[in-house]
């Protein structure tokens, strides 16, 4: 599909006037504020807990960073007790134990604190943290990012970690403050099956889901990023291509964009082209198809791949109009004296889709083909060499 056609197709999509400051996550931010409204209003008087779930790159970290920064900027203090509210984040993925997590939280408040981790327990460190907070007259909202990774390592200790912070608000006297609120961040709710459900019955826990970004949203966010930080030229079609193959992951979309710009710089190119995106994407994804896999493909599948790869290589495009493909495939089958394979067009295309070598996208009445993980130039070179070698003992060798 040519650039003008793909642009016209996408132009039919309704766009918001501008990307808001929350990158399409204003609703999730408001839900988080609502979950902690009592804690934010009067630190030390209430306790809250929320669970944020969503796949990587769906905006969880962005919302939490804004939440943290606003608490810091507004300096929220209880009018009577003078307790200051703080919000700290710890990435559980970087820790092998719950007590290590608590020690990092302590170090964020008191960098000079020392404890022998081998000789300490999670509960002991939590009591030490509570004493520090009481002395400083502070209450915490703790963000446990990637809590699901820690649950996989030691579910029983995570039970103790969560309940340990919770019990400081249970059975206390009226004059004692509520010190700890929690935000648990994970990809899904599966980690809860490993934890004691009693912990989650005593405090209302709000679950805030984050959906993957849509290609339209990624397109707008990429446009914003390009305007601010990218010096190379990039076609509209290529921006759409990045948005589609990122599958809703904003982190991946930005990484593809920036690494493709670095590759363009190395190749002394003025533009970021789809071929650079394909080359970068192969290094960032768990691409399972090897050269040996392609060698073992039936001839008809090799011919279809070569048809698609040639089109991408020749025109430096990101999409092929589906309606163009049958004619191109027939021409290539004739070139390799394999015209009988052309009648299997639909079957071949479906098999390549199932192998994730190509993907088919429907937009309105338009259908277009993409190839995201393989360099078109490399594939053309490899397939042409292989197909020619296969035909050396055939009468129609070219």
Give me the mean pLDDT over the 258-287 stretch: 92
- pLDDT over 90, % of the chain: 75
Q: In terms of Cα–Cα distance, which of 262, 197, 234 is closest to 318?
A: 234
Confidence band (pLDDT; 50, 70, 90) for 171?
low
Quote the pLDDT of residue 10. 46
Listed in sequence order, the residues at least 6 apart from 181 whose beta carbon sits closer than 8 Å to its beta carbon are: 36, 39, 46, 47, 48, 49, 139, 140, 141, 142
Quote the pLDDT of residue 104. 97
Q: What is the pLDDT of residues 290-339, one digit of tens each?
A: 788 888 999 999 999 999 999 999 888 999 999 999 999 999 999 999 99
Tell me whether strands 366-370 and 180-186 are parallel, antiparallel or unpaired.
Answer: unpaired
Summary mean pLDDT of the chain = 89
Give me the mean pLDDT over the 96-101 stretch: 95
Quote the pLDDT of residue 389. 79
Is 80 exceeded by the pLDDT of residue 114?
yes
- pLDDT over 70, % of the chain: 91
Strand, helix or coil for residue 9: helix
Is 90 exceeded by the pLDDT of residue 9?
no
Quote the pLDDT of residue 167. 87
Quote the pLDDT of residue 204. 87
Is 80 exceeded by the pLDDT of residue 286?
no
Spatial contact of 213 and 58, defined as CB atoms under 8 Å apart = yes
Quote the pLDDT of residue 15. 39
In angstroms, the CA 287 to CA 274 distance is 17
Is 90 exceeded by the pLDDT of residue 39?
yes
Quote the pLDDT of residue 173. 60
Instruction: Please report which helix (H) or strand (E) contains residue 90, including its range.
Output: strand 84-91
Quote the pLDDT of residue 315. 83
Q: Which residue has the higher pLDDT, 241 or 372?
A: 241
Confidence (pTM): 0.85
Confidence band (pLDDT; 50, 70, 90) for 356?
confident
Q: Which residue has the higher pLDDT, 366 or 36?
A: 36
Structural domains of the chain, with CATH: 26-209 (3.40.50.300), 213-284 (1.10.8.60), 291-390 (1.10.10.10)
Quote the pLDDT of residue 395. 54
Quote the pLDDT of residue 11. 45
Quote the pLDDT of residue 285. 77
Quote the pLDDT of residue 392. 61
Give me the mean pLDDT over the 23-35 stretch: 94
Go through 286-303 and write b for each residue having 16 or more CB atoms within 10 A of its CB, e for each that does not: eeeeeeeebeebeebbbb
Quote the pLDDT of residue 374. 85
């Amino acid at each position: 599909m040519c650039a003008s056609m793909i642009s016209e197709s996408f132009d039919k999509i309704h766009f918001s006037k501008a990307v808001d400051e929350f990158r399409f996550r204003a609703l999730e931010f408001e839900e988080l504020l609502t979950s902690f409204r009592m804690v934010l209003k009067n630190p030390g008087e209430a306790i809250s807990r929320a669970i944020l779930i969503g796949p990587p790159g769906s905006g969880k970290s962005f919302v939490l960073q804004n939440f943290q920064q606003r608490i810091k900027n507004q300096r929220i203090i209880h009018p009577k007790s003078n307790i200051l509210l703080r919000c700290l984040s710890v990435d559980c993925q970087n820790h092998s134990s719950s007590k290590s997590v608590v020690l990092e939280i302590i170090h964020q408040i008191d960098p000079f604190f020392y404890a022998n981790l081998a000789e300490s327990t999670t509960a002991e460190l939590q009591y030490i943290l509570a004493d520090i907070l009481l002395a400083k007259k502070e209450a915490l909202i703790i963000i446990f990012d990637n809590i699901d990774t820690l649950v996989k390592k030691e579910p029983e200790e995570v039970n103790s970690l969560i309940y340990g912070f919770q019990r400081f608000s249970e059975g206390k006297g009226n004059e004692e403050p509520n010190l700890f609120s929690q935000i648990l961040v994970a990809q899904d709710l599966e980690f809860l099956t490993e934890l004691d459900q009693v912990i989650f019955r005593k405090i209302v826990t709000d679950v805030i889901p984050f959906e993957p970004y849509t290609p339209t949203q990624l397109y707008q966010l990429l446009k914003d990023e390009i305007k601010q930080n990218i010096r190379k030229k990039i076609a509209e079609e290529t921006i759409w291509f990045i948005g589609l193959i990122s599958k809703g992951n904003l982190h991946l979309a930005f990484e593809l964009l920036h690494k493709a710009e670095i590759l363009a710089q190395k190749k002394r190119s003025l533009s970021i082209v789809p071929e650079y995106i394909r080359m970068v994407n192969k290094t960032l994804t768990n691409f399972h198809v090897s050269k040996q896999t392609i060698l073992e493909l039936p001839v008809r599948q090799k011919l279809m791949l070569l048809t698609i790869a040639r089109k991408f290589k020749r025109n430096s495009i990101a999409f092929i109009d589906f309606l163009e493909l049958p004619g191109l495939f027939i021409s290539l089958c004739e070139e390799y004296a394999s015209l009988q394979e052309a009648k299997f067009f639909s079957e071949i295309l479906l098999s390549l889709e199932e192998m994730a070598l190509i993907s088919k996208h429907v937009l309105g009445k338009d259908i277009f083909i993409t190839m995201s993980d393989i360099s078109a130039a490399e594939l053309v070179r490899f397939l042409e060499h292989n197909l020619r070698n296969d035909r050396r003992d055939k009468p129609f060798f070219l």
